[in-house]
Amino acid sequence: MKYLDEYRDPKIARALVERIKSTAKRTWTIMELCGGQTHSIMKFGLDAALEGVVDLVHGPGCPVCVTPAPAIDRAIAIARAPGTIVCSFGDMLRVPGSSENLFNARADGGDVRVVYSPLDAVETARKSPNREVVFFAVGFETTAPAAAAAIIEADRLALDNFSLIVSHVRVPPAIEAILDAPGNRVQAFLAAGHVCTVTGEGEYQPIVAQRHIPIVITGFEPVDLLEGIARCVDQLEKRESRLENQYARSVRPKGNPAALAAIDLVFETVDYDWRGIGLIPRSGMRIRPAFRRFDALDRFPTTSAECSTESSSPCRSGEVLSGRIKPHECEAFGLTCTPDHPLGAPMVSGEGACAAHYRYRRVNNKGSLLCSTK
Ligand code: SF4
């Protein structure tokens, strides 16, 4: 196949659904790891098409959703400090921290800006030498190279008014944490194609070998997803476990060496506290000492009051993001939690599982349809 339309071809999709149904002798639980995949699954009704054959559960693949509240609190505190400009991607402005979001800081007079690239924030710093410009960097291995490039560029320009709050996270340790979680029921994973475009296959091979679990690197279109699911089901039925690459049109075995080199130059691996999930060893990134002057955590020491780790939110995002419940099983779904009044990040983000369910299938926790499926 060469063109996007072919990856949405209903005939090919129906044939794959039939193949999966005829192969599966029982119901298998498969987790898609990327929020973009979640939205495609819901949008195209793949979960409904495979009902009773494959239970698709959603993973922690929405970067905004797993950004911990203290990091957002820190960004809010910096935005309220005099002479600062805080930049980030659009979704980050709406995600609640412990009690507020960046829009609240902007409403209070803070200079909070949406940018489309970390390099935009570097340019803002270059043009505003009398202001402290802070980029709030979130995302998986996919977006980390751009943050690394921004630091390298700021270093080249010798900027002394640019720094980052780094909330980049790594997928493979999250897979291990999901497998180790009490009550885990995931039997195979669809790995995120765009993440693997950067990382390649290397870090997934040991997980497959040690955990005996199928992982299929998968794209985002309906035919991609169905093919990834079909490959998982084939392996599960044969009691096999391999790493397969369904997204070979983008993912090379060694990934993107230049992007990996930029990450390795700028960031070191650290333990990281995922929102709703908890501390996952070696799952985060921190700026290396050679570039530490660009670390906003060092540049803006903040009081514990400004960065509370306590939250009384009823949000069950951790259970949603680790596949233990579906969004509609959260008591707040569609009632007190909606995209207009989100209680948690998965209802805010364009990649959030709760937003996907709300948009495409509003079923409440009693199983009643809240609106028609689009
Ligand atoms: S529906 Fe709202 S409150 Fe419930 S898990 Fe999702 S984001 Fe959190």
Residue 369 has pLDDT above 70, yes or no: no
Domain ranges for the chain? 1-313, 317-360
Which is it for strands 28-32 and 188-192: parallel, antiparallel or unpaired? parallel
**Looking at residue 254, what DSSP letter applies?**
T
How many whole angstroms from 93 Cα to the centroid of ligand 1? 17
Give the residue-averaged pLDDT of 32-42: 94
337 touches ligand 1 (CB under 6 Å): yes
Q: pLDDT tens, 225-258? A: 999 999 999 999 999 999 999 999 999 999 999 9
**pLDDT band of 312, cuts 50, 70, 90:** low
Amino acid at 176: E
Contact of 168 with 148, CB cutoff 8 Å: no
Mutation test of ligand 1: which of 331, 337, 361 has the most ligand atoms closer than 8 Å to its C-beta? Answer: 337
Q: In angstroms, what is the C-alpha Rg of the chain?
A: 21
Residue 223 has pLDDT above 80, yes or no: yes
**pLDDT band of 367, cuts 50, 70, 90:** low
For the ranges 39-53, 168-182, 313-327, which has the lowest average pLDDT?
313-327
pLDDT averaged over every residue in the chain: 91
Residues 6+ apart with CB under 8 A from 344: 65, 96, 276, 313, 315, 316, 317, 337, 354
Q: What percent of the chain has pLDDT over 70?
A: 93
What is the reported pLDDT for 373?
40
Question: Using N-to-C axis directions, what is the helix angle for 222-237 and 35-43, rounded to 10°?
Answer: 100
**Beta strands, E only, the chain:** 28-32, 54-58, 84-88, 111-114, 132-139, 162-168, 188-192, 215-218, 243-245, 267-274, 278-287
Alpha-carbon gap, residue 126 to 158, rounded angstroms: 10
CB atoms within 10 A of CB 116: 8
Q: What percent of the chain has pLDDT over 90?
A: 79
Output 104 or 307, whichever has higher pLDDT.
104
How many whole angstroms from 346 Cα to the centroid of ligand 1? 6
Query: DSSP for 39-76?
Result: HHHHHTTHHHHTTTTEEEEE-S--HHHHS-HHHHHHHH
User: Would you give the end-to-end CA distance of the chain in angstroms?
Assistant: 27
What is the reported pLDDT for 301?
79
Residue 288 has pLDDT above 70, yes or no: yes
Predicted structure pTM score = 0.90
Percentages of the chain per state (helix, strand, coil), in multiples of 5:
45, 20, 40
| CATH fold for the domain made of 1-313 | Rossmann fold (3.40.50)
Residue 152 has pLDDT above 90, yes or no: yes
Give the residue-averaged pLDDT of 268-293: 95
How many whole angstroms from 120 Cα to the centroid of ligand 1? 32
349 touches ligand 1 (CB under 6 Å): no
Q: pLDDT tens, 40-75? A: 999 999 999 999 999 999 999 888 889 999 999 999
Atom of ligand 1 nearest to the CA of 325: 5
Give the residue-averaged pLDDT of 306-321: 70
What is the reported pLDDT for 349?
78
What is the reported pLDDT for 305?
45
Q: pLDDT tens, 187-196? A: 999 999 999 9
- Tokens 């609106």 sit at which residue? 371
What is the reported pLDDT for 309?
44
**pLDDT band of 350, cuts 50, 70, 90:** confident
**Looking at residue 369, what DSSP letter applies?**
B
Which structure tokens are listed for 210? 């040690």
Residue 364 has pLDDT above 60, yes or no: no
320 touches ligand 1 (CB under 6 Å): yes
Alpha-carbon gap, residue 239 to 259, rounded angstroms: 35
